[in-house]
Structure 1
Amino acid sequence: MSTGRARRALWRWLPPWALDAGLVALAVLDAWINLYDEGTPLIWSCVALGSAALFLRRRFPLTVFLLTLPMTLFMDVAVAPITALYTLAASTRNRPLLAGCVLLNAAASTLAWPLSDGFAGDQTWTLIQFVYTLATATAPVLFGQLVQARHDVALQLVEVEEAREHERALHAQTVLARERAQLAREMHDVVSHQVSLIAVQAGALQVAAKDPDAREAARTIRTLSVNTLDELRHMVTLLRASGGKETELTPQPTLADLQQLIANSGIETTLTGGLPPGISTTAQRTVYRTVQEALTNVRKHAPGARAEVRLWHDAQHFGVTVTNTAPTRPSVALPSARHGLIGLGERAELLDGTLTAEPTPQGGYRTELRAPTRPA
């Protein structure tokens, strides 16, 4: 187990140019073993061209493969064409192109130069040799496709782990928001109701009392009850507005943090428009969370997509619209309880607004928050 890990570490430590230099040397040695002293200047030129081209195999895999075909036509070599085929298969998803290159390599390996000698011999043996070289050329292509699939799976596993971590955070945030909402309801329905009754009774006592000291005591009780109601309303508003993992002792995000959120999202995103200056802190926080959740969904469900965040307002409403393009890479189908969008819908309801999330005709997605304008 440790030996295998050491070998993998050695291959990763080896610089690419050193690996390519070794492959070039092997390709020249392979040609020299097959030619001995029979090579002409033309043949050695093809060997030099096809072998040296391996230095560029990562940047121009198809061109390098085509440059190895002349040396394959002149001699029975394997290192250069197999290396070129493997590199091409590991860098492209074009299956018809790979099939054509395999056939082309098999044909070049089967035919002899001059071409008239290739058709003058035993046709059955030529067919057998073609099938053998076809199988030999298919092996590096299959291995290259396997390496490409392994790389894709590794990327998808990273995306799955990030998505699961995000889902766990969303679930914890949803549970916390539910508990805070329940506490807010209890405070509003029970405590606020009882304090209101105290204020009403104190007001009645203040009016009906004959004794000045009794009236003053009733007035004090009524004033304290009214102040307590104001504090309770403020606490209920905070409990309903904050459903994240942060506490009220930590700074809550506002519109001033929106640019930093977009910069750290890892998505090519443009920010346009603006919001009215008089919107409340709760509304700013809701806009921020909407953009945050929308960009998270883009990163999770639309790899490689671009996004646009547009802030807008008119005489009666304000809002934010987040639109992304179609993904450029295949995404992993992940289970989702849509806790994020549910939480955003609840935040929108606190502002007497609405949240819409729907796909676009171009294959992207659009999330929009719309709420009535009211003073802070």
Structure 2
Amino acid sequence: MSTGRALWGRVPPWAVDGGLVVLAVLDAWVNLYGEGTPLVWACVALGSTALFLRRRFPLAVFLLTLPMTLFMDVAVAPITALYTLAASTRNRPMLAGCALLNAGVDTLVWPLSDAFDGDRTWTLVQFVYTLATAVAPVLFGQLVQARRDVARQLVEVEEAREHERALHAQTVLARERAQLAREMHDVVSHQVSLIAVQAGALQVAAKDADAREAARTIRTLSANTLDELRHMVTLLRASGGKATELTPQPTLADLRQLIANSGIETTLVGELPIGISTTAQRTVYRTVQEALTNVRKHAPGARAEVRLWHDAHHFGVTVTNTAPTRPSVALPSARHGLIGLKERAELLDGTLTAESTPQGGYTIELRAPARSD
């Protein structure tokens, strides 16, 4: 069936209309048996050739087929015109009127004076029959129109689904980029900054010139790497936006190890409530990690205190460091770490504050409502 439909679709419209004109003329010729007045043949020529314009002026073409219907019992021209009109309009009252008009004209006999001389019952039966004949192309045309509407709607639905799938893919990609940016800053930058700090300390303490040069090279490369990471994180954040956690991350169980590896004299006090969510644990961990990274960058020689706390309504962590005791190593920074921590705090419906202390140090505090656990 699909092959036949494809072949039919390849036939040009003018060829179809030409074939219909020929059939309409043959239909009239058979009914007239080759005879007829010039007026009748003029009506046949007008109604038949008008089928060439049925797609552009369906109502006018239908009206032009009525005169030939009055003179003879033809079917091709009026049925074709009715079908074309029904397939191109949604005005159903007009279609009903056209079907009644076609049935009425087809029932009349020319001359009109002879139309009501015969049996009235037979005339009524003939009218009902011709009306049923006229209704058939109207219903078929409406069915074709409905099929076109359904096909168009299916195309629109498929386009909408494709659009939704594209948006979903973009959303997933944005989340992955945001997560990657966060991990690059929280993990890679953390380690590289530690290398830079340790290299700087080695450069100051080393007595051998070659060792100092090697330490200087390591510190320079680490600083350049941090700068490149800062640009990459900026690009990823620009296309990522906010994101939820997509991969497992450290929790409170890794907090002591983080402090031990920080290279900073740090004390850990307090505790968090039992049973807080893994998301909250990761947020606390990353807050401490970022705070200690900032201490290494901007407050060399400072001591730090990590205080875990909770009360009836909130829980959180406060990281406070003392003033630096020696000049800091100049390292690139775009403050993406604090931005990421604020995003994590928002996921818990909490807040993050960061400010200087009167003693010249710095404090970062995460506060989240207990209900978010």
Q: Same fold (TM over 0.5)?
A: yes
1:228 aligns with 2:219: no
Q: Which residue of 2 aligns with 1:195?
A: 192
Q: CA deviation at 1:196?
A: 2.5
CA distance 1:210–1:179, shift in 2 (3 Å): closer
SS at 2:161 equivalent: helix
Name the CA distance, whole Å, in 2 between partners of 1:5 and 1:200: 74
- What is aligned with 1:56? 53
1:39 equivalent in structure 2: 36
With over 3 angstroms needed to count, the CA separation of the structure-2 counterparts of 1:34 and 1:155, relative to structure 1, is same
- Residues 195, 14 of structure 1: CA spacing in aligned structure 2 closer, same or farther, 3 A cutoff? closer
Aligned to 1:211: 207
Cα offset for 1:158?
A: 3.2
Mapped to 2, the partners of 1:35 and 1:45 lie a distance apart of: 13
**1:229-265, Cα deviation, whole Å (9 max, x unpaired):** 111112222333346xxxxxxxxxxxxxxxxxxxxxx
* Structure 1 counterpart of 2:235: 238
For residue 133 of structure 1, what is the aligned residue in structure 2? 130
Mapped partners of 1:25, 1:54: distance in 2: 10
Task: Give, in angstroms, the shift of residue 159 of structure 1.
Answer: 3.4
Residue deviations 1:54-109, cap 9 Å, x none? Answer: 12212221111110011112222111100111111222222232222112211211
Residue by residue over 1:144-181, the C-alpha shift from the partner in whole angstroms, topping out at 9 and shown as x without a partner, is 12222223333333333333334333333333332222
Q: How far 1:225 moved relative to its partner?
A: 2.1
Q: What is the match of residue 124 of structure 1?
A: 121
Question: RMSD value over aligned CA atoms?
Answer: 2.8
The letter for the 1-side match of 2:142 is Q
Match of 1:95 in 2: 92
- Taking a change above 3 Å as real, the CA distance of residues 7 and 223 of structure 1, as seen in their structure-2 partners, is closer
AA matched with 1:75: M
> Match of 2:346?
none
1:8-23 matches, within 5 Å, as 8-23=5-20
Query: Which range moves more in the overlay, 82-91 or 161-170?
Result: 161-170
Counterpart of 2:73 in 1: which secondary structure? coil
Query: What's the CA shift string for 1:169-199, capped at 9, x where partnerless?
Result: 3333333332222121111112212323333
Counting only pairs closer than 5 Å after superposition, residues 94-173 of structure 1 correspond to structure 2 as 94-173=91-170
Q: State the match for 2:80 in structure 1.
A: 83
Q: Which moved more, 1:11-20 or 1:52-61?
A: 11-20
- Partner of 2:30, secondary structure, is helix
3-state SS, counterpart of residue 39 of structure 1: coil
In the TM superposition, what whole-angstrom CA distance separates every residue of 1:279-319 from its partner, at most 9, and x where no partner exists?
xxxxxxxxxxxxxxxxxxxxxxxxxxxxxxxxxxxxxxxxx
Cα shift at 1:119: 3.2
Equivalences, count: 241
- Against the structure 1 CA distance between its residues 239 and 49, is the aligned structure 2 distance closer, same or farther, given a 3 Å change threshold? same
One-letter identity of the residue aligned with 1:42: L
- Determine the C-alpha separation between the residues in 1 that align with 2:184 and 2:14: 70
Q: Please give the TM-score of this superposition, normalised by the length of structure 1.
A: 0.57
Report deviation, 1:201: 4.2
2:98 corresponds to which letter in structure 1?
A: C
Gaps of 5+ in 2: 241-338, 341-373
Change (3 A) 1:11 1:205: closer
How many Å separate the matches in 1 of 2:133 and 2:83?
A: 12
Q: Distance in 2 between matches of 1:116 and 1:123?
A: 14
CA displacement at 1:15 relative to structure 2: 3.1
Once the 2 structures are TM-superposed, how far is the Cα of residue 139 of structure 1 from its aligned partner?
A: 0.8
Tell me what 2:361 maps to.
none
Structure number with bigger Rg: 2
How far residue 117 of structure 1 moved from its aligned partner, in angstroms, is 2.6
Flag the 1:15–1:224 CA change in 2: closer, same or farther, 3 A: closer
Partner AA of 2:18 in structure 1: A
Secondary structure of 2:96's aligned partner: helix
Q: TM-score, normalised by structure 2?
A: 0.57
Q: Any idea what SS the aligned residue of 1:119 has?
A: coil
1:7-45 Cα offsets, whole Å, 9 max, x none, are 434423433333222222221222222223662221221
1: distance between equivalents of 2:7 and 2:179? 58
Q: Matched residues in 2 for 1:130 and 1:117: separation?
A: 16
Q: Work out the CA distance in 2 between the residues paired with 1:85 and 1:146.
A: 13
Tell me the residue number matched to 1:367: none
Distance 2:20 2:61 in 1: 13
Deviation per residue, 1:110-155 (Å, 9 max, x gap):
2222333323433333332222212211111111122222233333
Counterparts of 2:112 and 2:156 in 1: how far apart (Å)? Answer: 53
Amino acid of the residue matched to residue 57 of structure 1?
Answer: R
- In structure 2, what is the equivalent of residue 24 of structure 1? 21
Stretches of structure 1 that go unaligned for 5 or more consecutive residues are 244-348, 351-376
